[in-house]
Amino acid sequence: MPAFATMAPTKPLGLTITPATVQITVDPGTPATRALTVTNNTKNAVTVSLVAEQFNVTDVDYDYSFSAPTDVTKWVSFNTNNFILGASQSQQVVYTLAAPKTAEPGGKYLSLFAQTSQGQASGITTVSRVGELLYITVAGKASQTGSLDKLTTPRFISQNTKWQALISDKGTLHFDSRWRVTLQSVFGGVVTATTGDSLILPKTTKAVNGDMPLPEGPGIYKATFTIGLGDTPAAGGSIYVFYIPMWLRWALLGIAASLVGILLRWLVPRYKRRS
C-alpha cells in the first residue's frame, strides 16, 4: 500500500511510520489495542501529533480521499497524542480501537496520521505527515459481494504486456481478490502462469492491472483468467493470444525492409528503361 505525505514542504521532515497497513477484526463493545512506531529520520528534533481520519477512494485507480473527524474516527484513542522526537529517534505509541455496541458489521477504514508542522511561509503553515492504513472488520454478518465488470485482454503479447480487470465489491466488507493467469499451448499443457492479489473496498470499483505471463518461444497460446470475487464465485475467461517477442518483431521488420529494398532496386531500373 502507498505511503502518505501531505502537500508540499520543500524540505520534508522525514517522518516514517510502521506498520504501513493493519487489518484488524473488532467485536462491538470490546476494545482492542495495537501499537505503531513513529521515526524521525532527520537531524533535528520535531514535535509530532497523532490524528485519525476516515478514508475512502475517489475512482477506479484508488486515489485516496480523507475526511474530517467522524463517528468512526472517535473509535480511536492514543496513549499520547503529542510528543517530541529527537534526531533519528523513534517512539512507539499504543492506541485503542473501541467500536460501540451499536456498530454495524462490515468494513470501516481509517488512516492514523503522524504529522508535524514545518512552520509558516507567506502566511501559510505547511504540514508533513505519514499514515498507517487501518482496515477494520466489525464482527458480525457482513458480505463480500464481488463482480467482474470488465476484463480487457490483449490479442498480441510481447515484453511488458498488461491486462486489466474492473472489479467491484457491492457488499459491506473488503476482500482480497486473488487472480491467476495461465498460458497453455495449443496441445493443452500449461506453459507458464502468473498470480497476484488486490484488496477491494466495499461499494467501490477498482482497476486491477497485471502482467501477462510470457512463454519461452513465439506462437499461439490460450490465456485463461481466473479472478477471485470474495463470497461470489470466481470469474474470468479464456482467449487465444499471439506471442511475438521483441527480437522477432525487429527481425521481421528487418526482413520486410530488406524485401522492400530489393523490390525497389528491381522496379526502378525497369521503370527507367520503359520511360
175-230 pLDDT, tens digit per residue, is 999 999 999 998 878 889 999 999 999 999 999 999 999 988 888 999 999 999 99
Residue 108 sits in the same domain as residue 167: no
Residue 8 lies in a domain: no
Residue 263 lies in a domain: no
Residue 82 sits in the same domain as residue 172: no
Question: Per the structure block, which three cell numbers stand in for 255?
Answer: 526482413
Residue 181 sits in the same domain as residue 199: yes
Residue 219 sits in the same domain as residue 153: yes
Q: What percent of the chain has pLDDT over 70?
A: 81
CA distance 236 to 148: 8
Residue 110 sits in the same domain as residue 38: yes
| Domain with 200 in it | 146-247
Residue 120 sits in the same domain as residue 163: no
What is the CATH number for 188? 2.60.40.10
Q: What is the pTM of this model?
A: 0.80
Count: domains in the chain: 2
From 90, 107, 138, give the residue that closes a domain.
Answer: 138
Residue 48 sits in the same domain as residue 127: yes
Residue 133 sits in the same domain as residue 32: yes
pLDDT digits (tens, 9 = 90+) for 129-153: 899 999 999 999 999 999 999 999 9
Residue 128 sits in the same domain as residue 163: no
